[in-house]
Amino acid sequence: MSDQSTPQAANAETADREGISRRRLLGTAGATGLVLGAAGGATGYAAAPSTAAAPLTSLGSGRAMFHGKHQPGITDPMQACGHLVAFDLAAGAGRKEAAALLRRWSDTARRLMAGEPAGTRDTDVARDSGPSSLTVTFGFGHSFFGRTGLDGQRPVALDPLPDFSSDHLDKNRSNGDLWVQIGADDSLVAFHALRAIQRDAGSAARVRWQMNGFNRSPGATARPMTARNLMGQVDGTRNPKPSEADFDRRIFVPEQPAKNDRTWMANGSYAVVRRIRMLLDDWEKLSLKGQEDVIGRRKSDGAPLSGGGETTEMDLEKTDEAGNLVVPINAHARITRPDQNGGAAMVRRPFSYHDGFDADGVPDAGLLFICWQADPLRGFVPVQRKLDRGDALSQFIRHEASGLFAVPGGAAEGEYVGQRLLEA
């Protein structure tokens, strides 16, 4: 899945004994958790790790900012708990109602991310918690523009994704007019935000689908390290990093968008969301070598089968004594490399999920895959098409739901998310 950095600068006060309120915790510095990659997409990304794992008592103090150039929840370190929820506008609701809803949602998100109550009707679920690195991110689906009379403002990049051979999509759990991503390092804080967002929707929109996910908690390992997915594989070594010179060009729409994009999407990004079920019973029948050949990396430490450590460049031409490629030709890590896909790159921040067992005792578990890119036709689509043609991992996963959402740039002080679209 991905690389893990840990909370910084833990609160030196005896927070637990004093019962620090959400507002008082804001004085403590903190940067959270995990940045997770995925199975079934491109390979992973490591946030810059801290020098030492912080104690768990610091988890609540992490705070992400609502206002900014980009929306939160894209480059922020990945959190331990997540909710994804899509809404459809109610019958008769249009542009005016959507603008009022985004104004409410933005105000609620700003308050909760600051560790404040949601408003006068706050449920007190997170009353005793700090911000816990909460992020709330908003996006628009393809159908949103028709429902609000804004077809002319729909970006070309939001055209529906093509069909893929691994798709077994449930239409009831796919797409949607509006999409909200919630992440936090505390499950009650995350649920509190989910409930507040759902209540704010009121009569303007109804929930279309909702999914819950989790990741390894910050501080759960002796040192910051790349996380593992539910297949037990180290996953998240090669995600593009914000420190790279071309990161913004690959992940965000430029401030002066190209003619095939829309000015309201400046500094925004496009999120592809896929519910990818892992066929764990079949996967766990493979030998260790079989699993490593499917991925192309050692299970123990994520190092490429061609040798070295986790971050060692993979040698795609290396052969064994019999002349066979050490990294199989259909290995997942080989196929998803950007240099094997015309430079296609995306930032992936997914959550694992487990939704119980079916009647035969088969686990319904896998990955809530979320990837970010400036243009999905140059990011997700070419990689997934290549995976479709011969990825060894494909027989152990199944794509069961899908969505593509335009996520506008961040809201400035006094603005709400999407205002430049809805009030143009």
Question: Which are the catalytic amino acids?
Answer: 235
Residue given tokens 């103090």 in the structure block? 61
CB distance 265 to 408 below 8 Å: yes
181/137 Cα distance (integer angstroms): 5
CA dist 298 → 14, 295, 310 (Å): 42, 8, 9
Please choose, from the candidates 351, 381, 379, 344, the residue with its C-alpha nearest in 3D space to the C-alpha of residue 365: 351
- Give the DSSP H or E segment for 367: strand 363-373
Terminal CA-CA length for the chain: 40
CA dist 13 → 20, 62, 255 (Å): 9, 15, 42
Q: Please, is 313 exposed, middle or buried when counting C-beta atoms within 10 Å of its C-beta (0-12, 13-18, 19+)?
A: exposed
- Quote the distance between the C-alpha of residue 334 and its chain's center: 23
Could you tell me the two tokens for 274?
């896929």
Could you tell me the two tokens for 278?
């892992």
Please choose, from the candidates 39, 43, 118, 30, the residue with its C-alpha nearest in 3D space to the C-alpha of residue 76: 30
CA dist 177 → 162, 359, 405, 415 (Å): 19, 33, 9, 21
A 10 A CB-CB count for 122 gives 18
The bridge status of strand 269-278 relative to strand 2-4 is unpaired
365/354 Cα distance (integer angstroms): 4
Please choose, from the candidates 213, 212, 142, 136, the residue with its C-alpha nearest in 3D space to the C-alpha of residue 176: 142
